[in-house]
Amino acid sequence: MLTVALPKGGLLKDSIQLFQAIGLDFSEFLNPANRQLEILDSSGRAHGLLVRNYDVPVYVEYGQAHLGVIGYDVLREKQPKVAHLVDLGFGQCRMSVAVKATSPYRSALDLPPHCRVASKFVRCAHDYFQSLDLPVDIVPLYGSVELGPITGMSEAIVDLVATGRTLQENNLIEIDRLFESTARLIAHPLSYRLNQDGVQDIVEQLRTHTSQVVAGKAVAEAAIKTVVETPASA
Amino acid sequence: MLTVALPKGGLLKDSIQLFQAIGLDFSEFLNPANRQLEILDSSGRAHGLLVRNYDVPVYVEYGQAHLGVIGYDVLREKQPKVAHLVDLGFGQCRMSVAVKATSPYRSALDLPPHCRVASKFVRCAHDYFQSLDLPVDIVPLYGSVELGPITGMSEAIVDLVATGRTLQENNLIEIDRLFESTARLIAHPLSYRLNQDGVQDIVEQLRTHTSQVVAGKAVAEAAIKTVVETPASA
């Protein structure tokens, strides 16, 4: 039977809606009373696994789940051996360099060589500063990365930014962007190639649905633009 | 000014009581309304930093905090360059190997070579199985490690066990122990050696307090033993 690994946290609701659109219902995971981490979808055609964000690519890489939904940021950081199939469009955020608003730095290249950069995304941060030929000391943190510059432990941070509110609350400003991130559909490469449990068909349905959603959004945005650009008196 | 890094989670309450016993009050961190991650103790003599468990040794290693409280399990796993000063006695738990109760394995050596072992403590697990000369495939997970054997992804797990309730709820049994863990007082080695901000004096006070608590517990336990062993009719 098809098994899908879904991430706890910010991407869960959209992920569940995505699978609902093609007839696989894992909405029990959104029920606050639910304590099960493994459920059968209500049509009885697929298993859902609810795991930590970072664990989604592990379950897929080790073949325990055929498919998974995960942020591009995690794929960039962990580089798991999984097939990247569809950009799902939701969960938009960016990986950014931020510093204290009161600091003199206005771009990553302004940072002094051998300064400290705190991050949960050690590999992303390392690769970025290496691409700039700027040697820095990466401080690996697990949470509250914004404490780095506040306590004076680091000159800068590399972290995910969605709305920018956390940065603002901590008097930090973005000075550079490493990349944009969205949720991605990933698959176990061999399961996908061998079409185990009809996984290719499911992927095609998800791909079609996603492109329809994206096209729908573009039409809606164009309509809004037309309304805005057309003077009310016309 | 002296800075102390305190861990969020299970060790926080005991850590705060420990510092209260020597006159440093960080109890504001226990106030649910508090959102600050950096506070001044009420005597104005020390700063407290409230950080993730795994981040405590990072703040101490990088010299941003003179002292920190952290579980021995984290020290074993991350091997940060910090001075290990006092076994604080609280936060007792153990690092164990566990398997499905229905499996045929009753010790780590029963596990088949090249089987999978899921763990958040990748280094501890690797070192343990290497010491047994049993090659295994360590699956790195971030949460809900008990899902490993349940989903069939791994034959065993290596995880922290305190009460054993999580194992029981998931029909897993402990078959071996790697080590016992308790909370430890750690220091930035150079700050400690140079006695920056009177850190040696604070460490001595904490050491004395801890040995008094340990001695007090031993007396209480001996008293209970005497009462239990003395027949009521005597």
Which residues of B, range 173-232, sit inside 8 Å of A by Cβ?
none
Rg of chain A taking only CA atoms, in angstroms: 21
Which of A147, A162, A179 is the last residue in one of the domains? Answer: A179
Q: Is residue B64 part of a domain?
A: yes
Q: Do B144 and A38 touch (CB under 8 A)?
A: no
Q: Do B139 and A38 touch (CB under 8 A)?
A: no
Above 80 in pLDDT, residue B171? yes
**Which one of B55, B116, B147 has the shortest CB-CB distance to A141?**
B55
Q: Is residue B146 part of a domain?
A: yes
End-to-end CA distance of chain A: 58
Q: Judge if A113 and A143 occupy the same domain.
A: yes
Q: Would you put residue B190 in left (φ > 0), alpha (ψ -120 to 50) or beta?
A: alpha
Q: Judge if A83 and A13 occupy the same domain.
A: yes
How high is the pLDDT of residue A231?
A: 58
Share of residues in chain A with pLDDT > 70 (%): 97
Q: Enumerate residues 6+ apart whose C-beta is below 8 A from B148.
A: B116, B118, B139, B141, B154, B156, B157
Q: Judge if A148 and A99 occupy the same domain.
A: yes
Per-residue b/e over A82-91, b at no fewer than 16 CB within 10 Å?
Answer: bbebbebbbb
A140 touches chain B (CB under 8 A): yes
Torsion from C-alpha of A141, A146, A149, A150, nearest 10 degrees:
-120
Q: Do A140 and B58 touch (CB under 8 A)?
A: yes
Identify the band that residue A36 occupies on the pLDDT scale cut at 50, 70 and 90.
confident
Which residues of A, range 98-137, sit inside 8 Å of B by Cβ?
116
Contacts of B151 in chain A (CB under 8 A): 38, 49, 59, 64
Q: Judge if A78 and A104 occupy the same domain.
A: no
Q: State which amino acid sits at residue A186.
A: I
pLDDT digits (tens, 9 = 90+) for B192-230: 999 999 999 999 999 999 999 888 888 888 887 777 666
Cα angle A51, A53, A58; round to 5: 70
Identify the band that residue A218 occupies on the pLDDT scale cut at 50, 70 and 90.
confident
pLDDT digits (tens, 9 = 90+) for B94-111: 999 999 999 999 999 999
Contacts of B55 in chain A (CB under 8 A): 141-144
Q: Pairing relation of β-strands A67-71 and A156-161?
A: unpaired
Q: Judge if B186 and B71 occupy the same domain.
A: yes
How high is the pLDDT of residue B223?
A: 82
Q: Judge if B155 and B106 occupy the same domain.
A: yes
How high is the pLDDT of residue B215?
A: 86
Q: Judge if B143 and B103 occupy the same domain.
A: yes
Q: Is residue A234 part of a domain?
A: no
Q: Do A64 and B116 touch (CB under 8 A)?
A: no
Above 50 in pLDDT, residue A75? yes
Contacts of A37 in chain B (CB under 8 A): 144, 147, 150
Which of B179, B199, B216 is the last residue in one of the domains? Answer: B179
Q: Provide the 3-class DSSP secondary structure of residue B77.
A: helix
Q: Is residue A47 part of a domain?
A: yes
Q: Provide the 3-class DSSP secondary structure of residue A230.
A: coil
Q: Judge if B161 and B201 occupy the same domain.
A: no
Q: Is residue A154 part of a domain?
A: yes
pLDDT digits (tens, 9 = 90+) for A91-108: 999 999 999 999 999 999
How high is the pLDDT of residue A25?
A: 96
Mean per-residue pLDDT for A23-48? Answer: 93
Number of domains in chain A: 2
Predicted complex: ipTM over 0.90: no
Closest alpha carbon to A161 in A138, A177, A149? A177
Q: What is the DSSP string of A109-134?
A: GGSPTT-EEEES-HHHHHHHHHHTT-
CA distance B81 to chain A (A): 13
Q: Is residue A20 part of a domain?
A: yes
pLDDT digits (tens, 9 = 90+) for A110-149: 999 999 999 999 999 999 999 999 999 999 999 999 999 9
Q: Judge if A194 and A172 occupy the same domain.
A: no
Question: How far is the CA of B4 from the CAs of B77, B149, B196, in angstroms?
Answer: 21, 39, 13
**Residue A99, domain CATH:** 3.40.190.10
Domain, as residue range, for A203? 2-91+182-229
- Read off φ and ψ for residue A144, nearest 5 degrees: 45, 55
Share of residues in chain A with pLDDT > 90 (%): 88
B143 touches chain A (CB under 8 A): yes
Q: Judge if B6 and B78 occupy the same domain.
A: yes
**Which one of A37, A140, A151 has the shortest CB-CB distance to B147?**
A37
